[in-house]
Amino acid sequence: MKKAELVFMSIAARGHIFAIIDFANLLIERDERLSVTVLVTNEAKEYIVELPSYANISFLELPHVEPPPMELRYRCIEKYIIDHMESHRTCVKEAIVNHVMPKSPKLLGLVIDLFCTSMIDVANELGLPSYLFFTSGATFLAFMFYLPDRHDRVGRDQFEESEPESIVPGYINPVPATVMPTVGFMEDGYISLLNLSIKFKETKGIVVNTFLDLESHALSSLSTLDLPPVYNVGPLINHKNQNSMQSKNHDKIMKWLDEQPPSSVVFLCFGSGGFFGVPQLKEIAKGLEKSGHRFLWSIRAVSEEKPPKQIKDTQHMTILPEGFLDRTKGRGLTCGWAPQVEVLAHKAVGGFVSHCGWNSILESLWFGVPILTWPLYAEQQLNAFQLVKELGLAFELKLDSRMFSDDIVKGDAIANAVKCLMKEDSEVRKTVKDLSVKGRKAVETGGSSYATVGHWIETIWS
C-alpha cells in the first residue's frame, strides 16, 4: 500500500503539543497510508517524554538553537516564542531534507502550530504545502483575521482599555476592550499577532479543534472571508496523555474522588501556565470554605518577587490560611498537579473553576461539566466572554482577570459564584449536558467533524 508522510511542528507548550499529536494520531487511525514525523525543539523534549507511544508517529529532535533574551520573555512571551521559532528555520529545513525526505516515498506537507508561521517559508522553499493547526477555537480565529482590518481602520499598534466595544466578525455581541488578550495591549505583541494573522492566509488550509454545534456562528462567518479552507475537526480530547511521573498524586486524587457523592465536587485547576500570588490563594481558600461545597483544588502558586518564582507543591500548606486544611478536612483536597481529563470524567465532579484555556473548555464540555470562568493569560479572556455572553455555557466569576494583576477576587465573590456553579437544575448545566452529546456525535462516523477530517485527508492527497 502506498505510504506518505506529514511533518508536524509545535511550540514547546503542553497544550499545543498534546493537541497537535492528538490530531496526528486521528489522521493515522483514519488513513493507514499515512505516517507522521514530529519535529521536536530542545525545549519541547520534556513534554514528549510524557507521551505514550503511537503507531506511525516518530519524533525527530532538532539541534539546540539559542533562544532570545529572557528580558523579551518577561516582557512579551508571545513575541519571544515567535522569534524563537523563527530562529529554527534553517535546522527545520535541514531536518526535512536530510532525515524525512530520504525515507518518505511521498511528503504531503507541513502541519504547523499557529506560532510556527515562519515555517510556511520553509515549506514554500521545499515545494511543499503548509497547513495551520489552530489550537484555539473558530471564534478566536475570526478575531485574528479581524486584526488586519482593525489595524487599517484604527492605525494604532495596540488595544487600549478605554476604547469602545468592537464589532468583530465571528462574535454575536460587541466585544469590550477589557476582554482583549493581554498581548494586544503591548505594541510588539500586537504587531506579532497581526503578522501571524496575515501569514495564516498563506497556508493551504486551517485545521481548528472545534465542532459545528459549538461554533456554528464563527465557522459560518469564516466561510464568507477570503481565506484558505477552514476544517473543524474537534473536539480532540486528550484521554491518554497523563503525566506518569505524578502517579502518586494520581492515585490519591482518584481514591478521594471515589469516596465523594455524584456531582458534589467543584474542581479548581488553571492549566500548566496558570499561577496565583499568595494573597489571591488565601481569598480562594476563604471562598471555598464559605461555599460549603466539596472541592478538589490544584494549586500553583508564585512568590511576590519580580519576576515571580513558582512556589513548590510541598510549601502550599504553609501559605494557606491558618486552620483551613483542618476545617475543610474530609470535604476538600488540595494538590499540585492533577490529571485533569480523568478528574473531569469522574462522576463525583459537578463543576469546574477554570482559566478557560481552549483544551480545558473542550474537555469540560465533553464530560458535561459546567465552568466558572477565571481567565488568566493568552486568549482566555475572549474565551470566557464567548462562553458566558455568546454561548451561555459558563457562569461568570471574572471575564477580564489577568495573571499577576493587583485586582484580587475576594472570597465572598468566589463563594457566591461556586454556589451558582453547583446548582443542579441551572440552565447552563442543561445546555452543557446537551452540547456534550452533540460534541461526541460530531466525531463519530457520520458526524460533522468526522466528515471534515475525511475531506481534509482527501485534500492533502490531491
Distance from C-alpha of 411 to C-alpha of 372, rounded to nearest angstrom? 14
Q: Which listed residue (83, 84, 113, 293) is catalytic?
A: 113
What are residue 133's DSSP bridge partners?
Answer: 113, 207
Report how far apart, in Å, the C-alpha atoms of 447 and of each of 206, 212, 253 are: 19, 10, 34
- 16 is annotated as an active-site residue: yes
Distance from C-alpha of 263 to C-alpha of 244, rounded to nearest angstrom? 26
Maximum Cα interatomic distance, the chain, rounded to a whole number of Å? 66
Closest to 371 in 3D by CA, of 431, 292, 290: 431
Report how far apart, in Å, the C-alpha atoms of 426 and of each of 393, 416, 423, 433, 447 are: 11, 15, 6, 11, 28
Q: What is the dihedral of CA 211, 213, 216, 219, to 10 degrees?
A: 10
Q: Which listed residue (16, 84, 316, 355) is catalytic?
A: 16
Closest to 208 in 3D by CA, of 231, 176, 240, 187: 231
Buried b (16+ CB within 10 A) or exposed e, 144-155: bbbbeebbeeee
- 400 is annotated as an active-site residue: no
Q: What is the dihedral of CA 388, 16, 461, 445, to 10 degrees?
A: -50
Residue with cell 530520504: 102
Report helix, strand or coil for 39: strand
Catalytic residue positions? 16, 113
